[in-house]
Structure 1
Amino acid sequence: MMGMQITILTWTLTEGHIDYDIEMGEPPRQPSPQPNIDAEFFGPGDHLYRNYHTGLDGRPCDADGVYLPPGAPPPPPENLASDDWTPFRNRAEFETGGMPAGQINRLLDLWASTLAKHNDKPPFADHRDLYEVIDSSPFGDVKWQFVRNMLANPTYTNEFDYRPYREYSTENDQRQWKDFMSGNWAWDQADEIAKDPSTLGSTFVPIILGSDKNCFAHHDGLAIIGFLAMPKATKEHAEEPTFRNFRRQLFHSSLSKIFNPLKPGMTTPEVTPFGDGHYRRVVYGLGPYIADYEEQVLLTCIIRGRCPKCMAPRANLDQDALCRCRDYVEALIREGPLGDIWNEVGIVPELVPFTNDFPRADIYQMISPDILHQLVKGAFKDHLVEWVEKYLRHVHPKRHAERIMDDIDRRIAAVASFSGLRRFPQGRGFKQWTGDDSKALMKVYLPAIEGHVPTDIVRAFRALLEFCYLVRRNIITEDALVEIEDALSRFHHYRELFKTSGTIPTFSLPRQHSLKHYVQNIRLFAAPNGLCSSITENKHIKAVKEPWRRSSRYNALGQMLLINQRLDKLSAARVDFMRRGMLTGTCLSTAMDALAPLRISIDEDLEIDNGPTILQAFVQLAKTPQGKKRAQTVLALAEELDIPHLPDLLGHFLFQQLHPDDPRDSSDIPLAECPRYLNKISVFNSASSRFYAPSDLSGIGGMRVEHIRSCPSWRNEHSRHDCVFVNTDSSLPGMQGLEVARVHTFFSFSYWGDVYPCAVIRWFDKVGDTADKDTGMWIVRPGGDANDVPEHAIIHVDAIYRAAHLIPVYGREFLPRGLKYYDSYDAFRAYYVNKYADHHAFEIAF
């Protein structure tokens, strides 16, 4: 479940760069007194237990704020008609409302043409007529009640944590951090609030904030509250310190005004309805603020180039330093010379953060981690990837450096296809890099540079990648925190080669320095997965780009706000209609199909699955066999695959299935003892694996569906035969209990009334007993006997865990031009098992 949190965004228009140039961290905070603990087992099997906060424990109450007895049901819901589409007359009218004006007019024109012969007309004359109906809707009116609207949304009934908690494993009493309310910050806030006896029993609701300096709200749990158009000046005055301070203080003053309606509820509980039908007494608080570095500078009123979290000197950001805190900064401004505060502490003393107007709000502590900008775009893409290019140009003649970089691009382009993995046909050769591009490059870059750069650079990349993948986990344990600190230490050690070689002059880079604060931030706010700026950017398209395209482009801001208001009304109406069961059955438009299926397609090989959580992977063949397009008997399949001994492999497979307790290896069983089957089979071009992968893009329960391809013609161009992880010993960790194989085909057959879904595979052999010490990835090679005859086998699809991705071990050789990515699995002698293919692979291929 997600934490009880509300995410609110503002957009700051035309905010320029912060050009202040330019140490201290927080004096130790006194730990909060330990309240009485309410411990409960959590989840299946009593493997976890939670210590819940007993002061703010989210007790239900009635509409007057009187607490209900434990287990009391909520009041009966309002009896609303299941056919009342007000302000629309029917579902078809409602479904039409979300389209752009041009599409609405086109649809109404076509609609009218079909009704003309009946002397009838469509329900609306044009888009303006429809918009008037939307504007009259009682749903979604802002009236500064958006927080209450979110809390009352029944969609989130099973996704709220109503009280702060600390989660532990029953096996070793080790703490773990997952959802927001499992972090120390929510617990400490509850401790502070609970000092007032009138708040006991209330529900703490943190307001998670976010903004973007250019223009700029996760489902309906994220709302736009403002477009802040910051004033401009003439070029003559634009850079004057007084004007720049004015603009920045205006930003803070605007935020203070916007959040002021919540201020009374930050100390005095407000009775608020929730989506489960209960009322609760709510205490609000300003929570973490999601922002890129430029916005962090603006928010914390610091000098550009300094850290918003600690007071390390600009020239050596990674030096150990105290954390910033509100009380200490305010004391410095009261007592110290303003010039010293500017130069020594890196603070603009004339500015007052908006958080100073609210209780328990410390902007320095509130700054949250940002995986996208700090790790993916920052430390990886803008730093290490660029440094490799600079290093090659620094140590090699220009022409040879260019040749190496061309080969790195060819290596990236030669990587085989994999579900959810973006391909780079031209390597890195394009200018407009998105966050998704950088994430995709992280998955394939390390093997591409190995052999062209020194070992320390390879190990620096490995350390950074491991850091990124560890902090991106859905659940972070105390052991994982140790691993994160170890990865950071290794990264700091191996990156030194870039400085000693003269490639770069300094490591004092704010985004890269932020890695030092991740462990502290994880303890405060739990897994950073839920606090990344990619959450805010995901709604950028819906909230800004699409309204901009719908506008006339002239004085567009007012039009965009009106479009967003109408979309909010339609969204609120949809929630209400769904609650009344009115959006099921027939008349589902394509848009509704995209919003509410059990499975949502991401690409043709990958889906997220909103079904229930199942920890054990499940593999099944495609629904439709290939029929006459492929072999229909065992002998025909042996000929198609050029595996003459396929009937013998099938005999050994059947013996294992019929005699699972036989201790002999299948190769030692005489063929005379094996069943013989040569009859009809059904061949399939793919199978799907459904498995639990909460750290990746997945359904509400953390489930993910992946398609494994094995077909002679993919997209009518070339064959495709994916690789898979095969479970060989589930009692062993990681790759010790897994093997890698390549699927030649999927097929099924019936023997004595039982259907056997199978895969014909070629095994890969592990090289060594551990992962490669430089890249951290296991190396495998195609299995074969002493004469290089491939080692094939037939396995039950139940033995398959999921797809595996392999990247060639390129070595020091340059790739020939013209090598195609679909030949990758046939062209090399050894391969890395790519544990960076996705976060689930990272968790199993160690």
Structure 2
Amino acid sequence: MRGPGSTAVSELLAIEDLVSLLGLSFKNVRELNRIVDTKLSSGRPRFIRREIVVSGESFEVFYRDVIQCIRALYGDPEFADLLVFAPERHYTDETEQSRIYFDLHTGKWWWETQAALEKRRPGATIIPIIISSDKTQLTLFGNRTAWPVYMTIGNLPKDVRRKPSRRGQILLAYLPSARLNHITNLAARRRAHANLFHKCMSTILKPLIDAGINGIRIASGDGVVRRGHPIFATFIGDYPEQLLVTCCKNGTCPKCAVPRSELGSTTEPERELRDLNAVFRALDEVDNTARVYSRACRDAGIKPVKHPFWEDLPYTNIFRSITPDVLHQLYQGVIKHLLEWLKAAYGTEEIDARCRRLPPNHQLRIFFKGISTLQRVTGKEHADICRQLLGFVVGLPLRHGTSAIRVVRAVRALLDFLYLAQYPAHTSDTLSLLQAALRRFHENKVVFVDLAIRAHFKFPKLHALDHYVEAIKLFGTTDNYDTQYTERLHIDFAKDAYRATNHRDEFPQMTQWLERREKILRHDVYIQWRLQRTAEQEADATMQAPLESQPLPPRSPSAPLSRIYSIAKTPNVKALRFHEAVDKYGATFLRDAIARFVVKYRSPLFSAQEVDHESRNIFLPFATFPAWHRIKFRLEDLQNFGIMEATRDAAHARPTRVDRRNRPVPARFDTVVVEDSDSSATDGIKKYRVGRLRLIFRLPSKACRQLFPNVVSPGPLAYIEWFTAFTRPDSVHGMYKVSRCRNDRDELLASVVEVDTIRRSCHLFPTCSGTISRDWTSSTVLDACEDFWLNPFSDLHMYMTLG
């Protein structure tokens, strides 16, 4: 499980008396493997090794019985309480005007397939089959590759399918990844490659034909037996895999028959899919001459592949089953192109200069060397760049003197589409916003043609964005089928398995290693279940004991409310003095701010003038107080559907320090979003205000008893330097502008507030027209700049907050 070689483990077990002292039932690795192979069960089928013959050449494929894989997932006791057996419709309110889409069972595909199946076999339970495949490199150097195929079922919730630790995905097969270099003709090699893929997939998925039509008796983890119909629902893969699966030609759309001349020219979300009946008629000509079959396939818009694997699968439209791919179509596709266009439009020097001078934030990665020097940029790095991309171009003039308004609008539109496309739940309203964002980009993209950066936009990944809305309506939100989740499986099912082999004839060893690993994981679940059951039995025995023998827990006056923030139990500074707070933390007016807070806390109805007057009479009966350097936040579900996973956030307020190597580390005082007690707004962004967190502290208990004799003492406090309130967003890029608040003496306005009024951290872009000041740094820009734009793209939660 942890990777040591068998020799190392055998040497460990060979230590004198180790086996007897530990009470082990094995003396070496061979005996351990024999126990795993013969005494443990995995609950999942073993791999089958089979030869596939294509064009007179044989290839090895390792695969599992797909029906047994379905039974393993469907009948796993861990998933018994999670399975979904029927489609559902969800709405935002009782009027049922706005529908909610999130998981696969809330989409239209399941409803339509259920209705079609009920006409032939009433009482059916659909088991949606989700297949994903992607060829991956096993070694950093060399040409070792693997082509894993993964399978899961749509009855499992998407949060289970997304997480490898939940084991909701099964490695279904290793396809042969032969390069076929002996075929010198490129067209013939591509045809052979496609025929090999479909022959292997046909062999693997053939049992779904009869099972999908007639059904199978299948038991869920709670023992209930149903008649299940496994139906191929979606295929997850990047663009080359999509073309391979649908037999479409390179440079075309794998879903619709849009002409190449119209790719990316406009947005048309209602475009019809490819004609499946016309494709079937072409495939029926397979027994005719090669020329006739090729012509029929060409007229239908597909490659002349013999018997695609989906040809006989019931209730399957392969062109509808192709799903959006946020990772490759957006991050590694359109966004990657956009970055190149912006570098050409603005130059890399100023973009890199702005990149290095952004203030730090918990959600952001600062590229201190800029982004122009990055090579082999990953999807995660593109996501990190998107969090700050708008700040690179706002206020920056184009090199040729052309107005940059259309460029900024195009960037904002694509970022809006990117973030909206990743919503964990969609409604009819948010889908309209998604469509509108794409339309805005198409309205402004011509600026890149005017700048001689692009000649056209005829590339499939831009056109693929047209299909997002309909795919979400059919199969739920994009986190049901994004390749960034399935590609994570390569580590567990391909790369780690390869490292466990001797790198010779690796696939038999990889499959055996995976089977043993599954048995160990299943055994570990059993052990945990036994321990939990024993603990529950002991607890039940304690509850049944005589009442007088049970110690009662201490009672608290009131149960604490669940908080969205937390601070460490132990303060970073146990006794901070006032002059240290001023010198090290910049809390210049801390005494006055605490005095005003005390008056306001004791008398909430006082006016500002009354608070100022009464605060002059407040005496602070303490000289030191504890201080913390970080607040952690657990951000709530803003959609209020109970679907969005909690977002982790943090805000720092720490002075300059030195690290372990005695190197100076700059001070960091983050900006945060605070509830504005003076605002009349009840919802939306205007009920909040941006402030800079200078100090996190708590009043000593003895002082609290003196300052608040008749009220409950406040919790942790924060010293905040204020920015101006929100007004209107900018008409071009849609961001809110905030500036430092100063009084008539040019002093920064600050207050002490309770920490529980701070909702989260936020990130600011410094405003600058033209080149950014080279005197600014990432650690000093918040002090040096006066005006800022509030960054809406620091994370999805912030985007929803500002939306």
- TM-score band by shorter chain is 0.7 to 0.9
Counterpart selection for 1:725 from 673, 690, 701: 673
Q: CA deviation at 1:410?
A: 2.5
Correspondence for 1:801: 759
Return closer, same or farther for 1:811/1:562 CA change in 2, 3 Å cut-off: farther
- Displacement, 1:434? 1.1
Query: Which residue, out of 593, 597, 602, partners 1:653?
Result: 597
The one-letter amino acid paired with 1:298 is L
Of 786, 790, 793, the residue aligned with 1:829 is: 786
Aligned position for 2:632: 688
In the alignment, structure 1 residue 840 sits paired with structure 2 residue 797: yes
Provide the identity percentage.
Answer: 26
C-alpha distance in 2, partners of 1:338/1:501?
46
TM-score (norm 1): 0.77
Which residue among 371, 382, 385 is the counterpart of 2:339? 385
Q: What's 2:99 paired with?
A: 175
Deviation, structure 1 residue 474 = 0.8
2:227 aligned partner: 281
Match of 1:761 among 699, 715, 720: 720
Q: Which residue matches 1:162?
A: 85
**Alpha-carbon distance change, 759 to 112 in structure 1, aligned in 2, over 3 angstroms:** farther
Paired position in structure 2 for 1:772? 730
Name the counterpart of 2:74: 151
Distance 2:94 2:299 in 1: 48
Q: Is the 8 A contact 2:90 2:106 kept in 1?
A: yes
Given that residues 647 and 678 in structure 1 are in contact (C-alpha distance below 8 angstroms), is that contact kept between their aligned partners in structure 2? no
2:88 counterpart letter in structure 1: Y
SS, match of residue 784 in structure 1: coil
Give structure 2 stretches of 5+ with no counterpart: 47-64, 137-145, 151-162, 286-290, 399-403, 536-559, 660-664, 706-711
Task: Say what the alpha-carbon RMSD is for the aligned residues.
Answer: 3.1
Q: Which residue of 2 aligns with 1:304?
A: 250
Change (3 A) 1:287 1:669: farther
Deviation for aligned residue 1:419: 2.0
- TM-superposed CA distance for 1:797, in Å, is 0.8
- Match for 1:269: what amino acid? G
Deviates more, 1:669-678 or 1:485-494: 669-678
Given the superposition, is the C-alpha separation of residues 713 and 124 from structure 1 closer, same or farther in structure 2, using an over 3 Å criterion? Answer: farther
Tell me, in whole angstroms, the C-alpha distance in 2 between the residues paired with 1:715 and 1:283: 64
- Give the partner amino acid of 2:184: H
639 and 795 in structure 1: CA distance in 2 versus 1, 3 angstrom threshold: same
Kept in 2: contact 1:176–1:477 (CA 8 A):
yes
Q: Write the distance in 1 (CA, Å) between the matches of 2:729 and 2:764.
A: 14
- Does 2:671 match 1:704? no
Within a 5 Å distance, the mapping from 1:104-503 to structure 2 comes to 106=8, 109=11, 113=15, 115=17, 124-136=26-38, 137-143=40-46, 144=65, 145-170=68-93, 172-173=95-96, 174-196=98-120, 198-200=121-123, 202-214=124-136, 215=146, 216=148, 217=150, 218-219=163-164, 220-235=167-182, 237-241=184-188, 243-318=189-264, 320=268, 321-331=271-281, 346-381=301-336, 383-392=337-346, 404-428=347-371, 429-450=373-394, 451-453=396-398, 454-503=404-453
- 1:726 touches 1:741 (CA, 8 Å); kept in 2? yes
Contact 1:711/1:719 (<8 A) preserved? yes
**2-structure distance, mates of 1:756, 1:743:** 16
Q: Deviations over 1:739-775 (max 9, x none)?
A: 1111111111231272521011111124x62222332
Partner of 2:743: 785
Is 1:512 the equivalent of 2:458? no
Where structure 1 has 5 or more consecutive residues not aligned to the other structure, the ranges are: 1-97, 393-403, 586-613
Residues in 1 aligned to 2:232 and 2:585: alpha-carbon distance in whole angstroms: 63
The alignment partner of 2:350 has SS state of helix
Cα distance in 2 for partners of 1:519, 1:223 equals 29
Contact 2:282 2:300 (8 Å CA) reproduced: no
1:120 is displaced (CA, Å) by: 7.4
Match of 2:530 among 543, 555, 580: 580
Comparing 829-838 with 790-799, greater Cα deviation is found at: 829-838
- Give the secondary-structure state (helix, strand or coil) at the position aligned to 2:173: strand
Task: Judge which range, 701-710 or 352-361, deviates more.
Answer: 701-710
The answer as to whether partners of 1:620 and 1:797 remain within 8 angstroms in 2 is: no
The 2-side partners of 1:647 and 1:154 are apart by 60
**Matched ranges for 1:564-713 at <5 A:** 564-581=514-531, 618-628=564-574, 631=576, 633-634=577-578, 637-638=581-582, 640-662=584-606, 664=608, 668=612, 670-672=614-616, 676-678=620-622, 680-693=624-637, 702-713=645-656
Distance in 2, matches of 1:726 and 1:657, equals 17
Specify the SS of the correspondent of 1:416. Answer: coil
Indicate the larger mover: 355-364 or 677-686: 677-686
Q: Number of residue pairs matched?
A: 700
Query: Partner letter of residue 214 of structure 2?
Result: T
Give the structure 1 partner of residue 493 of structure 2.
543
Distance 1:561 1:350, change over 3 A: closer
Kept after mapping to 2: 8 A contact 1:619/1:798: yes
The 3 A distance-change label for structure 1 pair 457 and 832 is same
Equivalent AA in structure 2 for residue 508 of structure 1: K
CA distance in 2, matches of 1:289, 1:354: 12
Cα drift, residue 337 of structure 1: 7.3
Contact 1:153/1:575, CA 8 A, preserved across alignment: no
Change (3 A) 1:570 1:117: closer
> What per-residue deviation string (whole Å, max 9, x for no partner) do you get for residues 524-558 of structure 1?
11111221001111111111122222222222222
Deviates more, 1:651-660 or 1:738-747: 651-660
- Using the TM superposition, give the Cα deviation of residue 693 of structure 1 relative to its aligned residue in structure 2, in angstroms: 4.5
Work out the CA distance in 2 between the residues paired with 1:141 and 1:526.
Answer: 28
Deviation at 1:565, TM superposition (A): 1.8
Q: Tell me, in whole angstroms, the C-alpha distance in 1 between the residues paired with 2:19 and 2:118.
A: 70
Say if 1:758 and 1:797, in contact at 8 Å, map to a contact too. yes
Deviations for 1:339-386, whole angstroms, at most 9, x for unmatched residues?
7666665322444431112100111000011111111110101x1111
Given the superposition, is the C-alpha separation of residues 116 and 510 from structure 1 closer, same or farther in structure 2, using an over 3 Å criterion? closer
Following TM superposition, by how much is the alpha carbon of 1:475 offset from its aligned partner in structure 2, in angstroms? 1.0
